[in-house]
């Protein structure tokens, strides 16, 4: 398998996004994009429904509707993390260097995501290698996505335990987390499209194999972690 990255045809991520991909790459992109979009849509519908009920004062129904969102969020985070990690791994191993735009702090609402985006942007000015900048941005997005996944588990549990004022803050935080997951999804899709523009055609199968392998492996690992997390939440609730 060749380790050489394809020469760039375009000068920016905007041009990459508008570019037509060859048939194999196009099929690959839309297959993975659809899986990501479907995972996000299921979470978004459930969370929007819960938020609507909460705003109407129907707290019991809002809590019940929101109870499914941690699992739906886990599915989205798993897919996003797998795509990001696979690109990072292949970029590092084969020297893939796509076009890149820095993370914008204004596109995030939660404090942790804004801090990660700010640090990533700062590092973009410090790192000289474009490949290092790309890998650093992917690492920042992975961090944002995985922290949002942990946040959802805790926040949904808190929404049912807190008093009315704390509950309001928690629901608003869930809304902000939802916004940041959408931003992370859009950033991931843009990264994936630019990555495919320069990825040698013969490396498509490897990228697909890595993404799907990570989804399977991380599902098992996350099930164990989620069980531990759930027991911790239950222990706190019982105090």
pLDDT in tens, 221-230: 444 444 434 4
Q: pLDDT class for 160, splitting at 50, 70, 90?
A: low
Backbone dihedral angles phi then psi of residue 15, each to the nearest 5 degrees: -70, -40
Q: How far is CA 83 from the centre of its chain?
A: 9
Per-residue tokens: 161: 């335990």
| 97 in any annotated domain | yes
Which residues constitute the domain of residue 53?
Answer: 13-101+149-230
- Specify the pTM: 0.86
| 112 in any annotated domain | no
CB atoms within 10 A of CB 173: 19
The label of the residue with tokens 């997951």 reads 181
pLDDT at 6 over 70: no
Per-residue tokens: 187: 């950033």
| 121 in any annotated domain | no
97-140 pLDDT, tens digit per residue, is: 899 999 999 999 999 999 999 999 888 777 668 888 899 999 99
Cα distances from 239 to residues 12, 30, 38, 60, 92, in angstroms, run 54, 48, 38, 22, 47
pLDDT at res. 224:
41
The label of the residue with tokens 């760039």 reads 8
pLDDT-above-70 percentage for the chain: 84
165-208 pLDDT, tens digit per residue, is: 778 888 999 999 999 999 999 999 999 999 999 999 999 999 99
| 72 in any annotated domain | yes
pLDDT at res. 98:
93
| 29 in any annotated domain | yes
pLDDT at res. 169:
86
pLDDT at res. 111:
94
| 62 in any annotated domain | yes
Give the span between the Cα atoms of 153 and 103, in whole angstroms.
25
| 36 in any annotated domain | yes
Start-end of H helices in the chain: 13-18, 23-55, 59-66, 69-94, 111-126, 130-161, 164-198, 204-238
Whether 53 and 62 have beta carbons less than 8 Å apart is answered as: yes
Structural domains counted in the chain = 1
pLDDT at res. 124:
76
| 81 in any annotated domain | yes
| For residues 158-167, average pLDDT | 69
Q: pLDDT class for 44, splitting at 50, 70, 90?
A: very high
For the range 48-57, what are the long-range contacts, defined as Cβ-Cβ under 8 Å and sequence gap of 24 or more? 50/174, 51/171, 51/174, 51/175, 54/171
Least-confidence region, from 72-81, 84-93, 153-162: 153-162
């Amino acid at each position: 398998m060749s380790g050489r990255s394809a020469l760039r045809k375009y000068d920016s991520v905007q041009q990459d996004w508008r570019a037509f991909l060859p048939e194999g790459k196009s099929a690959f992109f839309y297959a993975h994009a659809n899986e990501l979009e479907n995972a996000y849509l299921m979470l978004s519908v459930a969370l929007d429904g819960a938020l609507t009920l909460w705003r109407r004062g129907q707290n019991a129904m809002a809590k019940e509707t929101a109870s499914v969102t941690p699992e739906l969020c886990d599915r989205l985070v798993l897919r996003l993390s797998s795509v990001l990690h696979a690109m990072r791994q292949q970029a590092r191993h084969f020297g893939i260097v796509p076009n890149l735009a820095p993370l914008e702090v204004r596109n995030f609402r939660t404090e942790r995501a804004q801090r990660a985006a700010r640090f990533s942007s700062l590092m973009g000015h410090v790192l000289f290698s474009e490949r290092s900048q790309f890998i650093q941005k992917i690492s920042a997005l992975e961090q944002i996505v995985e922290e949002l996944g942990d946040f959802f588990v805790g926040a949904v549990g808190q929404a049912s335990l807190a008093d009315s004022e704390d509950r309001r803050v928690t629901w608003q935080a869930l809304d902000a987390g939802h916004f940041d997951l959408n931003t992370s999804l859009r950033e991931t899709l843009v990264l994936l499209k630019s990555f495919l523009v320069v990825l040698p055609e013969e490396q498509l199968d490897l990228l697909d194999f890595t993404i799907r392998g990570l989804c399977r492996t991380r599902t098992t690992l996350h099930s164990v972690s989620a069980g531990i997390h759930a027991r911790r939440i239950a222990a706190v609730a019982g105090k």
